[in-house]
Amino acid sequence: MTVKYRRELDAISAYVPGKPIDAVKRELGLERVIKLASNENPFGFSDSVRAAVMQALDEVNLYPDGNATLLKEKIAEKYGIKPDMVLPTCGSDEMVDLIAKTFIDPGSEVVMAEVTFPRYLSTSQMMGANLKIVPMKNMAYDLEGFRRAITPQTRLVWLCNPNNPTGSFFTRDELIRLLESISPETLVVYDEAYFEFATHPEYPRDSLDLLQRHRNMLVMKTLSKAYGIAGLRIGFTIGDSALLGMINKIRNPFNVTLLTQAAAMAALDDDEFLVKTIENNERGKVYLYAQFEDMGLNFVKTEANHIAFDAGKDGEVVFQELLRKGVIIRPIGGTKYDTWLRVSIGKMEENQAFIKALREVL
């Protein structure tokens, strides 16, 4: 390449999304394909979202409200906070990128887990961070390891709870102990993309209350998972208005589309859809745990809508063989975890089809 570019790019791998259903059907000549690869909602989305989008369609000649005023107000009301503590983005993906750009200088110390959401790594690398990677402990975050890795010089800490792709979680006590050990000058990014699925009594349900004592923390949420509107791209972050104000300076002014703002407001109102989604997830967990146990496979108990399991043979091969049977899941990858894969919890018939295919493959 003769054109000059940022050398940081040399260390970065492009994000590999879960394979789309149509592509697999076409490539492999299959009629029925199920996708349990991207932690999407198996029930689709709330009916009220459809109505809201149809109504908003009449206005797509207009730019969206760049301040997402009504959406911020809706979120603020739902979570009992002020609207200036909310910043919606084009998925929480966009927020990960904006946070890295806003807070990381070349050489800034950034601490993150070894197996977690991959965009923390690539966005930090892009900004030239000095990365400290904390190894997993039994496929879960090791918060003691984080405490040892974090110094007063640490600029930013990425936390994901429940974690993607392991589904593991850390407790409220562990989180508080960690927050109390961190300098107020260090930014803590706390990603709760899978918050709604967590049922463990020790999972921190009151992260937003912790913001009062820890103004250096940002809480990221998304409507892509439990709320089922991944295709519309909407996440939002809650935290100190001054921190969000800095990020807001570099946000694309119309980052959340008009259709998406309308859809998000409708989705946030539909508690019934959320309950149905979570109940299905719980049933799926029970079924998949029992099946993995029966097959003698090691797996991680999940607080999210996906389960990490050890197939005991090359994960890439298992992934490819499942594809040929019309089931898309995801290898976790990396040399240490090359026999591990992640499967999203689907509807019961999808879970059963996955298990049938997995039994045949193994």
Ligand X SMILES: Cc1ncc(COP(=O)(O)O)c(C=O)c1O
* Least Cβ distance, residue 224 to ligand X (angstroms): 3
DSSP labels for 19-84?
Answer: PPHHHHHHHHT-S--EE-SS---TT---HHHHHHHHHHHTTTTSPP-TT-HHHHHHHHHHHTS-GG
Residues 6+ apart with CB under 8 A from 331: 315, 316, 318, 319, 338, 340, 341, 342
Q: Does 193 bind ligand X (CB under 6 A)?
A: yes
Q: Which residue number, 42 or 357, has a Cβ lying nearer to ligand X? A: 42
Q: CA 132 to CA 106: how far, in whole Å?
A: 14
Using CB atoms within 10 Å of the CB of residue 310, give its burial: 0 to 12 exposed, 13 to 18 middle, 19+ buried: middle
Q: Does 167 bind ligand X (CB under 6 A)?
A: no
* Least Cβ distance, residue 284 to ligand X (angstroms): 17
From the list 168, 224, 255, 351, which residue makes contact with ligand X (rule: CB under 6 A)? 224
Q: Does 164 bind ligand X (CB under 6 A)?
A: yes
In the window 103-162, what residues touch ligand X (CB under 6 A)? Answer: 117, 160
83 preceded by a cis bond (ω within 30 of 0): no
From the list 109, 142, 174, 191, which residue makes contact with ligand X (rule: CB under 6 A)? 191
Q: Does 329 bind ligand X (CB under 6 A)?
A: no
Q: Which residue number, 39 or 351, has a Cβ lying nearer to ligand X? A: 39
From the list 81, 133, 230, 297, which residue makes contact with ligand X (rule: CB under 6 A)? 230
Phi, then psi, of 332 in degrees rounded to 5 = -80, -40
Q: Does 88 bind ligand X (CB under 6 A)?
A: no
* DSSP, res 162: S
Q: Does 92 bind ligand X (CB under 6 A)?
A: yes
With CB under 6 A as the contact rule, which of the stretches 90-98, 243-251, 263-271, 283-291 interacts with ligand X? Answer: 90-98
Neighbours of 280 (CB within 10 A): 19
Enumerate binding residues for ligand X (CB under 6 A): 39, 91-93, 117, 160, 164, 191, 193, 222, 224, 230, 235
